[in-house]
Amino acid sequence: MNTEIASVGGGAFAIVRRMIDRITELPLSVILCLLLLAIFVLSSIFAPLLVDQSPTYQDLIRRMQPPAWVEGGSVDYLLGTDRLGRDVFSRLLYGGRISLAVAGLAILFGASVGTVIGLWAGYFGGIVDAVVMRAVDVLLALPTLLVAIVLAVAVGPSFWNVVFVVSFLLWPKIARQVRGELLAVKEQDYVKYAEGIGRSSMSVMLRHLLPNVTPSLVVVSTLELGHVVLLEASLSFIGAGIPPPHPSWGVMVDEGRALMATGWWLSLFPGLAIMLTVLIFNTLGDWLRDTLDPRLKLR
Amino acid sequence: MIRYILERLLQAILSLIGVTIVVFAMVNLTGDPSLVMLPEDATAEQIAMVRHELGLDRPLAVRYLLYLGDLLQGDLGTSIRGLASVPVGRIIAERLPATLELGAAAVLLTFLIGVPLGVYAGYWKGSSFDVAARVFAVLGQSAPPFWVGIILIIIFSIHLGWLPAGGRGGIIHLVLPASTMAWASIAGVTRLIRSNLLETLDTDYIRFCRIKGQSETNVIWKHGLRNAGIPVMTFSAVITASLITGSVITETIFTWPGLGKLLIDSIGFRDLPVIQGCILVFAAVYIVLNLGVDLLYAFLNPKVRVG
């Protein structure tokens, strides 16, 4: 306790010290995941600095080269080339941009819409609540990928359409979570007090209710990130997601499918990238749930 | 209990109606099928004629009600792919057995592998077997099913040459697609059984069983698993969903002649009636199975049964 107080008043050095202490207290798996996530995100953002070749540059003379460490491979193409002579490593990095961007944007939109609707339905109740929650029930009663496929085919394959489809499938889960949480919170005394002294509904929702549902919102969103990455990859794999020649990981696995017999590396690496990303988000989500919201664990 | 059953039944029916609306609306957004059926240089009159024949010139609401009316009589419409108009019901009936066969094999695999894996991992907590099972469970839930299928084909069909990479035939054709489909649900069941068994083994009645001198086999498989297994039932909804999803992807990879492949093929041809039919069948299976699980759960759980 004493060291705690001392370090609070100890200036910048102590603050850094405390941050390092905090980080080293994390479980090893979480540190590893955070590191990997940082690598994934940074290598996607700085892809142009890391690889010379454009992900869509074709070089038919150098097509179907195996990875560098396999006989016949070259160091210029670390993970080999595909049937059009495009660099698989370059495509993997640029593909990360697309897959991570879709996941991030879809969570942002889906969670925002879900939160607003959940807050609204939970706080005001009544007919709006009943109708919205019925709709949520129906949407959640359908197998996600099936709806995603039909919807994606309906709007056509493009980056923003995939973001839209995935967000559309996400908001009901968030809305249900927020609403459920809210029903307990809004009966608390401080909420009643805020209403009693004449605060507007908007102010009560934003200043008193939203902060209380934020922890579980963060947990659910992180856990959903894994699903979102998988969903985008599945859609792109089927051909209803990111259109070629853009290198989404799902598209790359699909392109490798036709060449399974001659080019095992084409499907292997993008698939591994998807798996690792989902693994990272699931592990972080589980950890956040255990630390931020132990009640969720019981369910 | 009766009240609960009725409520749940009503909810399922509402969901089904919701599904028909959602499916109808979504499918009618996928573009005009008459444009796909006609050559590119078709005149406006020709397009109008085909649209009229297909009933596409009528208002959306009328078309929905007509669709619902036909549906109630068991009429799913006719396929607009090719020249011969084949009833959608017949196409689906032809394809359904293949999907059910694959699904049943996957469910069987899920429980045959997932349950023992979870029990042994939970019983020998911390052992190397437990660690291996947990790694498998975590990887299983993160690996995209379409990728698992491709990797299995590369290993077992192309390199080892042990198993066929596609098509429907004897049991040997089932191994790879069923494993691909079951992969994620095996991981889920293993994880669930393991953690539930750990909790169950820590209870007083298990201690009492041991004090009474019952054999370990009896304690684990009879008393332990029976209690640890109930939550798995709730999980079966998740399993069903993942199997339906899985069938779409798995059948495409392994060219399995089932409903999932039919759906993907029909999307390519904008064959609206068939798409509607497939989604409807999938959704109905999903909703009915969920209903069954909920009712069975209520029946087994006294808290719900009495309350």
Give the CA angle between residues A60, A66, A68 to the nearest 5°.
Answer: 115
Min distance B213 CA to chain A CA atoms (Å): 32
Residue B87 pairs in a beta bridge with B78
Residue A154 contacts residue B275 (beta carbons within 8 Å) = no
* B22 reaches A (C-beta below 8 A): yes
Q: Testing the interface with B: which of A138, A223, A279 to mutate, by most B Cβ within 10 A?
A: A138
Cross-chain residue pair B26–A151, CB shorter than 8 Å: yes
Quick check: helix, strand or coil at residue B127? coil
CA trace torsion A88, A89, A91, A95 (10° rounding): 130
Q: B142 and B179 share a domain?
A: yes
Please indicate if any CB of chain A lies within 8 Å of the CB of B183.
no
Please check whether residues B107 and B187 belong to one and the same domain. Answer: yes
| Bridge partners of residue A87, in order along the sequence | A81
A245 has pLDDT over 80: no
The minimal CB distance from A146 to the residues B30, B165, B248 is found for B248
Pair of tokens at residue B160: 């080892």
Phi-psi region of B163 (alpha: psi -120 to 50; beta: other; left: phi over 0): beta
Is the same domain home to B46 and B104?
no
Q: Do A154 and B30 touch (CB under 8 A)?
A: yes
Mean pLDDT value of segment B150-168 = 78
CATH code, domain carrying B284: 1.10.3720.10
Separation CA B262–CA B274 (nearest Å): 8
Q: Is B231 exposed, middle or buried (CB count within 10 Å of its CB: 0-12, 13-18, 19+)?
A: middle
Domain boundary pick from B88, B111, B133? B88
Answer yes or no: CATH 3.40.50.620 is held by domain A43-296.
no
Contacts of B148 (CB under 8 A, 6+ apart): B180, B183
3-state secondary structure of B15: helix
Confidence of residue A113 (pLDDT cuts 50, 70, 90): very high
pLDDT band (50, 70, 90) for residue B301: low
* Exposed / middle / buried, residue A297 (Cβ in 10 Å: 0-12, 13-18, 19+): exposed
A157, closest residue in chain B (CA to CA): B30
Residue B302's Cβ-side half-sphere holds a number of Cα atoms within 13 Å equal to: 0
Q: pLDDT value at position B136?
A: 83
- Locate the chain B residue with the closest alpha carbon to A283: B138
Mean pLDDT of the region B5-27: 80
Is the same domain home to B48 and B78? yes
Among A168, A289, A157, A165, which Cα is nearest to A221's?
A289
**Partner residue facing B146 (CB), from A138, A142, A253:** A253
Handedness of CA A161, A276, B237, B95 (dihedral sign): positive
* Residue B144 DSSP code: -
3-state secondary structure of B294: helix
Interface subset of B 45-74, CB within 8 angstroms of A: none
DSSP for chain A reads: -HHHHHHHTSHHHHHHHHHHHHHHTS-HHHHHHHHHHHHHHHHHHTHHHH-SS-TT---GGGTTPPPTTSTT--TTSTT-B-TT--BHHHHHHHHHHHHHHHHHHHHHHHHHHHHHHHHHHHHH-HHHHHHHHHHHHHHHTS-HHHHHHHHHHHH-S-HHHHHHHHHHHHHHHHHHHHHHHHHHHTTSHHHHHHHHTT--HHHIIIIIIHHHHHHHHHHHHHHHHHHHHHHHHHHHHHTSSSPTTS--HHHHHHHHHTTTTT-HHHHHHHHHHHHHHHHHHHHHHHHHHHHH-HHHHT-
Residues B103 and B233 in one domain: yes
For residue B137, pLDDT over 90 is answered with no
Q: Does A256 touch chain B (CB under 8 A)?
A: yes
Q: How many CB atoms lie within 10 A of CB B247?
A: 26
Q: Please indicate, yes or no, whether residues B137 and B282 belong to a single structural domain of this protein.
A: yes
At residue A191, the pLDDT reads 77
Q: Average per-residue pLDDT in chain B?
A: 78
Final residue belonging to a domain, choices B88, B119, B144: B88
Chain B contacts of A267, Cβ < 8 Å? Answer: 147, 150-151, 154
> For residue A298, is pLDDT > 50?
no
Say yes or no for a CB contact (<8 Å) between B151 and A271: yes
Q: Between these two residues, A66 and B188, which has the higher pLDDT value? A: B188
Closest-CA distance of chain B to residue A171, Å: 16
Burial of B251 (0-12, 13-18, 19+ CB in 10 A): buried
Distance, in Å, from the CA atom of A124 to the CA atom of A229, rounded to the nearest integer, reads: 34
Is the pLDDT at B42 greater than 50? The verdict is: yes
Mark whether B292 and B146 lie in a shared domain: yes
Domain range holding B21? Answer: 2-88
Q: pLDDT, tens digit, for every residue of B254-269?
A: 888 888 888 888 877 7
For residue A269, pLDDT over 80 is answered with: yes
Residue A194 to residue A294: CA distance in whole angstroms: 27
| Contact residues on chain B for A146, CB-CB shorter than 8 A | 244-245, 248, 279, 282-283
Q: How far is CA A6 from CA A3, A21, A25, in A?
A: 5, 14, 19
Contact call for A150 and B27, based on CB within 8 A: yes
Same domain flag for B137 and B271 = yes
Q: Which residue has the tokens 């609540």?
A: A129
Give the three-state DSSP class for B270: coil
pLDDT computed for residue B170 by the predictor: 75
Residues B101 and B64 in one domain: no
Residues B48 and B102 in one domain: no
**pLDDT band at A6, cuts 50/70/90?**
very low
Q: Is A109 on the interface with B (CB under 8 A)?
A: no
Secondary structure of residue B87 in the 3-state scheme: strand
- Please check whether residue A259 touches B, CB under 8 A: no
Nearest to A143 among B15, B147, B245 (CB): B245
Q: State the smallest CA–CA distance between residue B214 and chain A in angstroms.
A: 31
Q: Does B14 touch chain A (CB under 8 A)?
A: yes
pLDDT at position A161: 85
Q: Tell me how many degrees the CA angle A84-A89-A94 measures, rounded to the nearest 5.
A: 90
CA angle A155/B86/B275 to nearest 5° reads: 20
B28 and B77 together in one domain: yes
Give the mutation candidate from A136, A254, A275, A276 for the B interface (greatest B CB count, under 10 A): A275
Task: Tell if the pTM clears 0.90, that is, is over it.
Answer: no
Share of chain B above pLDDT 70, in %: 90
Q: Which two tokens stand for residue A266?
A: 């084409």
Residue A108: predicted pLDDT:
92
Partner residue opposite A257 with nearest CB, options B27, B139, B150: B150
Query: At A105, is the pLDDT very low, low, confident or very high (cuts 50, 70, 90)?
Result: very high
Helix or strand holding residue B251 (H, E): helix B225-253
User: Considering B66, B88, B110, which residue would you say is the last residue of a domain?
Assistant: B88
pLDDT on residue B178: 84
d(CA A125, CA A128): 7
Binning pLDDT at 50, 70 and 90, where does residue A1 land? very low
Per DSSP, the residues of B159-224 read: IS--S-SS---SHHHHHHHHHHHHHHHHHHHHHHHHHHHHHHHTSHHHHHHHHTT--HHIIIIIII
In B, which residues are within 8 Å of A150 by CB distance?
23, 26-27, 30, 267, 275, 279
pLDDT(A173) > 80? yes
Q: What angle do CA B273, B289, B5 make, to 5 degrees?
A: 115
On whether both B210 and B62 belong to a single domain, the answer is no
> Smallest CA–CA separation between B268 and chain A, in Å?
9
* pLDDT over 80 (residue A24): no
Task: Give the mean pLDDT of B154-167.
Answer: 76
Nearest to A277 by CA among A98, A58, A56, A27: A98
Average pLDDT over residues A116-126: 84
- For A69-89, how does the pLDDT look when each residue is reduced to its tens digit (9 = 90+)? 767 667 676 777 777 767 778
Asked whether A231 and A242 are in contact (CB, 8 A), the reply is no
Tell whether B253 is within 8 A of chain A (Cβ).
yes
Q: Specify the 3-state DSSP secondary structure of B256.
A: coil
Task: Among A134, A154, A271, select the one facing B29 at the smallest CB separation.
Answer: A154
H and E: helices and strands count for chain B: 14, 0
Peptide bond just before A245 cis, omega within 30 deg: yes
Summarize the confidence of residues B43-62 as an average pLDDT. Answer: 75
Q: In the numeric block, which tokens belong to residue A108? A: 């942002």
Angular region, A157: left φ>0, alpha ψ -120 to 50, beta rest: beta
Q: How many CB atoms lie under 10 A from the CB of residue A131?
A: 11
Place of tokens 């993997």: A92
Burial profile B79-101: b = 16 or more Cβ within 10 angstroms, e = fewer: bbbeeeeeebbebbeebbebbeb
| Chain A residue whose CA is closest to B148 | A271
Q: Which residues on A lie below 8 Å from B24 (Cβ)?
A: none
Of the candidates A161, A43, A172, A149, the one whose C-alpha atom is nearest the C-alpha of residue A105 is A161
Q: What is the mean pLDDT of the segment spanning A171-192?
A: 82
Model pLDDT for residues A248-265, shown as the tens digit of each residue: 888 888 887 877 777 777
Q: What is the average pLDDT across B132-149?
A: 83
- Structure-token pair, residue A284: 């972080």
Question: Would you place residue B43 in the very low, low, confident or very high pLDDT band (cuts 50, 70, 90)?
Answer: confident
**CA B135 to the chain's CA centroid:** 25
Query: For chain B, what is the domain count?
Result: 2
Q: List all residues 6 or more positions away from B246 whose beta carbon is below 8 Å from its beta carbon.
A: B106, B145, B180, B181, B184
Express each pLDDT in B62-106 by its tens digit: 888 887 888 887 777 777 776 567 887 888 888 888 888 888 888
Please determine, for residue B29, whether its predicted confidence score (pLDDT) is greater than 70: no
Give the whole-number percent of chain A exceeding pLDDT 70: 90
Cβ contact A97:A91 at 8 Å: no
pLDDT, chain A, mean: 79
